[in-house]
Structure 1
Amino acid sequence: MKKTLRIATRKSPLAMWQAEFVKAELEKAHPGLEVELLPMSTKGDKILDVPLAKIGGKGLFTKELEDRMIAGEADIAVHSMKDVPMELPEGFALGAILERHSPTDAFVSNNYEKFEDLPQGAILGTSSLRRKAQLMAQRPDLVVRDLRGNVGTRLGKLDAGEYDAIVLATSGLQRLQLDDRIRHEIPAETCLPAVTQGTLGIEYFAKDTETLDIIKVLNHKPTEIRTTAERAMNHRLEGGCQVPIGVFAELEKERIKIRGLVAELDGSTVLHAQTEGPAENAHELGVAVAEDLLKQGADKILAAVYAEEISSKG
């Protein structure tokens, strides 16, 4: 077995936490193994003044880490699974899906306890089209403004009074020990999470069986099943990481329940679908939810979203 394993990671505090977490878990599982981190900035980290959807959502945070692996500088990359494209580049594979942390969105405000408490015309910050569409569907009176930057930057903009409230991933705040900033966890019934939100994955070279033997110990089967279902739905819809698509798979014993939605950007139309069945059919059930949404017209909504993205890129 290898004595050293190198992890390519983004430099942001949250990405570094994720890589440090995997490093600690691997070293705990394999006494004698030394894990090194190779931090770097990706295009998605550098361009902070443009909405994510306009700079090419798919692979925005993963491609440059893969390039480090291709160059022989790293053995694996640690990703937030919601940033991982549905189809990996040839030669790459996911070797472990870690146990899911909280999948919900967090309501963060210095003046209001819950999303429902925001006054008419309040300014809400989020970088996510999915959050924007769902929250505007319930509160079309709100002003939703784009919010980029790492977690600390976003919180700083809130504290400077630029927003009345912002919405961030619960898991990200918890990982950075910022639980005290969470005023309210928004339930899935109010805002369906992003595909695989709160889940970490480890990418490796598919032919590198020695590395797979090291990392597969961290694979969490129940989370892998939920991930399979959610990614299958998203893949059938041809959704990237920056589209108004929400999905949430829940596993109870040997059965899985999947809820999915597609929404217009302004929240004026929100399509819902759900199904449940044996966990072993997770992929097929995820596709079935997508097919239901497509029958309701999801393809037309998504086509309009992509057309708007292309035109806004100029």
Structure 2
Amino acid sequence: MKNIIIATRGSQLALWQAEHIKALLMERYPSLHIDLNIIKTKGDKILDTPLAKIGGKGLFTKELEEEMLRGNAHLAVHSLKDVPAEFPEGLALVALTKREDPRDAMLSEKYASLDALPQGAVVGTTSLRRRMQLLAKRPDLVIKNLRGNVNTRIRKLKEGEFDVIILATAGIVRLGLQEEVRYFAPIEKTWMIPASGQAALGIESVDTPELREMLAFLNDDEAIIETTIERDFVRILEGGCQVPIGVNATLEKDHIHVKAMVGLPDASQILEESLTYKREEYAHVGEVLAKRMVERGARALLKEAETMAMTVIFND
């Protein structure tokens, strides 16, 4: 191929991701011509409603996928945590890049850490996973919904709407926004388990042998192992973005360590599991972990969590 079109959202982070992959492709294939097809998705247009109420994180990928299926783009670059488990016929997840820091991070103008927050501090996040884990440790906190792109969220923090906001560390670092606030602190995974796929980039493309071969060099073996486990876990639990699920796999030499948590958004019920397997056994780990959770009633708990989110949390 001599020409490639990358479909992308127009947010600062989405453009960074698309430009990052474009640069890697041009370094690998110097004669390749690459254009960006910038699309404003429904998820970008509706900023006053939580994603779970208007269709979930798939809103950020659906219209990019439609552009590829129409022949108006060859590939799209996604934050893997936003990518659904299933893909439309004719498209595939063909590459996973090296993973950055998967931790969540707290940003604040007043407080240096979550432990330093006073009673009743106001925390901004629309993530049910983050809400659950914050309230599990600090039931006194006031959690308020927060939408918008990264810059909008930081602006709201600076304007005093929140004492703290919670975002993904990788997004802040990629955009170089660590210095935009007085305090930026990644949250240890012992305090908050990240989302499935967090900090990895997934390359979705039209499913052809030529594109698969062209994009294969972007793959990172460690990211594939870790995120395969995490995505299998979520897929088997049938957990969409409307429910609080934290799962993180960490590869350390010849072993993979996995921690997972599911529960209710108000933290009144939580299930936790952890396990360690040999690296070469990774293909089945997500399934094993999910089945353990299912045996403990995880699916019923997640259905209750979805109802709670729709009828209480996202209606306030």
Return the TM-score normalized by structure 2. 0.95
Please give the residue correspondences for 1:152-171 in structure 2 after superposition, counting only pairs within 5 Å.
152-171=151-170
Partner amino acid for 1:125?
G
- 1:92-118 Cα deviation digits (max 9, x unpaired): 111110000110011100000001111
Give the match's secondary structure for 1:24.
helix
Q: Structure 1: how far apart are the matches of 2:160 and 2:130? A: 21
Partner amino acid for 1:268?
S
Question: What is the CA distance between 1:186 and its match in structure 2?
Answer: 0.4
Percent of residue pairs identical? 47
Give the match's secondary structure for 2:276.
strand
Matched, 1:226 2:226: yes
- 1:168-198 Cα deviation digits (max 9, x unpaired): 1000101111122352110011000000100
Q: Structure 2: how far apart are the matches of 1:210 and 1:240? A: 32
| Unmatched segments (≥5 aa) in structure 1 | none
CA contact (8 A) 2:250 2:257 kept: yes
Instruction: Report what 1:143 is aligned to.
Output: 142
Return the TM-score normalized by structure 1. 0.96
Q: Structure 1: how far apart are the matches of 2:128 and 2:212? A: 35
Instruction: Report what 2:190 is aligned to.
Output: 189
Partner amino acid for 1:49?
D
Instruction: Report what 1:21 is aligned to.
Output: 20
Instruction: Report what 2:206 is aligned to.
Output: 205
CA RMSD of aligned residues (A): 1.5
Please give the residue correspondences for 1:1-314 in structure 2 after superposition, counting only pairs within 5 Å.
2-180=1-179, 181=181, 183-206=184-207, 208-309=208-309, 311=311
Question: What is the CA distance between 1:291 and its match in structure 2?
Answer: 1.4
- 1:256-310 Cα deviation digits (max 9, x unpaired): 1111110211112221111121223323111111111222221121011223455
Q: Structure 2: how far apart are the matches of 1:34 and 1:121? A: 54
Give the match's secondary structure for 2:277.
strand
Q: Structure 2: how far apart are the matches of 1:218 and 1:28? A: 12
Q: Structure 1: how far apart are the matches of 2:127 and 2:285? A: 26
Give the match's secondary structure for 1:204.
strand
CA contact (8 A) 1:260 1:290 kept: no
Partner amino acid for 2:79?
S
| Unmatched segments (≥5 aa) in structure 2 | none
The count of residues paired between Structure 1 and Structure 2 equals: 312
CA contact (8 A) 1:60 1:83 kept: no
Partner amino acid for 1:254?
D
Question: What is the CA distance between 1:311 and its match in structure 2?
Answer: 4.8
Give the match's secondary structure for 2:58.
coil
Moved over 6 A (4+): none
